[in-house]
Structure 1
């Protein structure tokens, strides 16, 4: 039977073939490098399993692990290495392990390196595979002893495999000499794996394609995880690659007074930032737009960093917003996220899938403070948010972000300034009046149309959000201590239960 191999060899790792623009070019030698624990063996097993699934013969040559260790590693991921995958455990000949038979006039490395190469070629001739993995180059580098002999050995392997038509993946654990880039200049492509250890939380892994001759690939760093079943890569999101046509209609919040403040509502395909101190109701404002979207017959998604879902369900239910029922009905996708266990790339992928698979037209991210905890580098955080907002907006969906400011009244600061990224900015504030603490809302920015320049008081109670008429006759409401400057008073009357926090 003749197998049509095509020009590209899919690597079989979710997301990595996208980064590589279709996989590995056949009949070439590639380098997969990374320190121990970065997932090189797992990726190489997925590479061979992908070939075996298409009827290709595959060969795994191991110089550092035993066959039992490889099979146990595969079994831990639920991988079954069938007859199409041959594991060749390369061990030194017994004569090299016997001190009585070792040569004294020649360097032992001269014999060991030549014998190792000979065994590799013999194993290949027996199997005649289409895909080959050699694990690892550190053993060959140590046997070569010098950079010149090591380079010649790699060139010999490259020429041999190139003539045979095999696609080869060389593994390097970077334990012998991390500064030696000999292989980089010889191989067709280089994939570099990294593992980072934050001050708190789980390790973070990322990869980068350093080199790929004659091929356009997705550059930069891409987060990835190792889970049961193998490695999953989250390609860096580029919003310019994703654009859909949609009608920019105006969407209601479901509250006439809030729509009036927003100049009629929110434009479809735009982003809204809800900013204010803790307890002002940022989450509730966002959930109000989610509820309005679901009542229009659309689906929505909520990503919660800062609150336990059970408590969130209980609090919103007491205000007439049953998020749990919305989720159970299939109209709401809601997920609680742990910033200590989540990389930015994985989060962006989850948001993206909520839009593509769940068809969410409203996405609430609560909050950017939690997102920042998962992305401690602030400059990179801004770029991440920019790409994510652009992507969601270009799908005709609306994004709502909450940001908690430091402080309660007066001069407050945000942990990160993202106001210039959002199309609409809604500002929430506390202010003092006649011995009570009240809340005020205003719209300070809207790119997609006109909006009121007034400040309205609002209340949170058992009936949800209620907005009053624009405050008039006051000065200094946003500073927290207003001063009555004229006779009119338009503040909302106090009522029992109006002080519920959200």
Structure 2
């Protein structure tokens, strides 16, 4: 079967924001890349039998992208040739194996071939004359031996830098790409840029004169971490999503792109309610939270956010549900100790396999790495409830934009999976209740519970309000509450609360 015949192993869908448009004639055929999330951004993958440039600075994962593209082809029965123009094949082989790609096995079976076409440097430091015609012949020989459909050239900088005349280099490259496409190959070329690839892709004008598609990879420092983002700059004859999308590289998996997907519900969840763990609060919420809803508990420090989260978790575990706690501010031991102080034996639920506690210090990973890890935990443990305590602990890890995308990413994910979730967020002002997180995700949140302090008769008391309950009536009164060794106890309505 030829490369063109096998282009249908891709993501299909109706024309629109979620489809690739091919079936309606609005897009050329595409090949799946195997990069989690990228084929959604590219609406099906990269165009088949065409040339795609992947450009970015050092450390932006260009080679990972290229290797993953070839690996997916092998999995789909499409052999691949990896032409290395800089890094030795032995190093590439070892590096790609850490991402879970069985390159030696694929080489042995003839579905993967390395071609080392690096310029030869003589003893005196001079470089032997390099011919792109010779490179095309080497590639043609490897393609004939493997029956390859996919080809990677990594990286073009080493060869193009040998040409002083930009016009000559561009014309030679155009001829090379035309020759490769004439073999029926889908070609992916990597280019290293000195700065932001959006402004300085290459001095040879590859993006304008050679490539049908251009993918930009960025690696920008934000706070104490570097943040990687991806952008499909152009895709001739095909639709794609616009704008920067975050991604990370996960050992054993490779690149994981994190687009915000269109909201979709996997199942009809109906009107089933879940208890919050407090009968009075259930009544205020019209009978409890809906299954699949996302609740935000916000308020200043010490108001009882973690207590409400603990009661929500414990009530689920007591009902035989599987529940997960992501604790970003306390260790597992602190979580268990505090719960015992409120009359909840979380350790027993943990022993019986109903509770999983993931205690993670925010600084151990980037926001995107945390998001991938949390999704993996949920997919493996398959809980019906999760708690994130607290989202605010992650704010300092990146820019406001990165934090907003993280918050939207995790809340969108749990809503799509139908899991009931409760997240906490801290308000900076002790006598107020609004938080930065609330402003970012209020549109995605189904329930908002506000905890705050109120000054009454020269004393400070705690107050609770259900600000929002989507799809249900709720009691919006301001209720006083206390905390004792049995947990949270809701009291009467406040009169004039003052602050």
TM-score (norm 2): 0.80
Where does residue 261 of structure 1 map in the other structure?
284
Range 303-312 or range 340-349, more displaced: 340-349
Out of 343-352 and 135-144, give the one that drifted further: 343-352
* RMSD (CA atoms): 3.4
Shift of 1:211: 2.0
Q: In structure 1, which of residues 204, 212, 237 is the aligned counterpart of residue 235 of structure 2? A: 212
**Is contact 2:136–2:180 with CA below 8 Å preserved after alignment?**
no
After TM superposition, give the deviation of residue 338 of structure 1 in Å: 3.8
* In structure 2, distance between residues paired with 1:93 and 1:390: 51
Q: Among residues 189, 197, 206, which one is paired with 2:213 in the alignment? A: 189
Aligned residue-pair number: 461
Which of 105, 112, 117 is 1:90 aligned to?
117
Equivalence for 2:73: 51
Contact 2:464–2:481 (CA under 8 A) maintained in structure 1: yes
User: Is the Cα contact below 8 Å between 2:82 and 2:113 reproduced in 1?
Assistant: yes
Q: How does 1:144-223 map to 2 (within 5 A)?
A: 144-175=163-194, 178=201, 180=203, 182-185=205-208, 186-200=210-224, 202-223=225-246
TM alignment of 1:83-122, pairs within 5 A: 83=108, 84=110, 85-92=112-119, 112=129, 115-122=130-137
- Bigger radius of gyration, 1 or 2? 1
Question: Are positions 1:31 and 2:50 aligned together?
Answer: no
Query: Which position in structure 2 is the counterpart of 1:307?
Result: 330
Q: Hey, what does 1:141 align to over in structure 2?
A: 160
CA offsets 1:322-365 (integer angstroms, 9 cap, x no match): 33333443333432334334444444445555666544333322
**Is 1:279 the equivalent of 2:302?**
yes
CA contact (8 A) 1:443 1:451 kept: yes
How high is the TM-score relative to the length of structure 1?
0.80
Tell me the secondary structure at the aligned position of residue 50 of structure 1: helix
* Post-superposition offset of 1:184: 1.4
Whether contact under 8 Å (1:302, 1:365) holds in the other structure is yes
Determine if contact 1:355/1:361 at 8 Å carries over to the other structure. Answer: no
Secondary structure of the residue aligned to 1:215 is coil
Q: 1:414 to 1:17 in 2, by over 3 A?
A: closer
Q: Is the 8 A contact 2:119 2:159 kept in 1?
A: no
Moved more, 148-157 or 247-256: 247-256
Deviation of the 1:208 alpha carbon:
1.8
Counterpart position of 1:489: none
Secondary structure in 1 aligned to 2:303?
Answer: coil
Structure 2 unaligned regions, length at least 5: 10-30
Q: In structure 2, what is the Cα distance between the partners aligned to 1:12 and 1:271?
A: 31
Contact kept in structure 2, 1:237 and 1:348, CA below 8 Å: no
Can you give the 5+ residue segments of structure 1 that lack an aligned partner in the other structure? 103-107, 480-502
Matched with 1:125 is: 140
Q: Aligned equivalents of 1:209 and 1:2: distance in 2?
A: 27
Question: What is the CA–CA distance in structure 2 between the aligned matches of 1:34 and 1:277, rounded to whole Å?
Answer: 42
Quote the Cα distance in structure 2 between the aligned partners of 1:73 and 1:384. 28
User: Mean alpha-carbon deviation: is it higher for 386-395 or for 184-193?
Assistant: 386-395
Tell me, in whole angstroms, the C-alpha distance in 2 between the residues paired with 1:461 and 1:347.
34
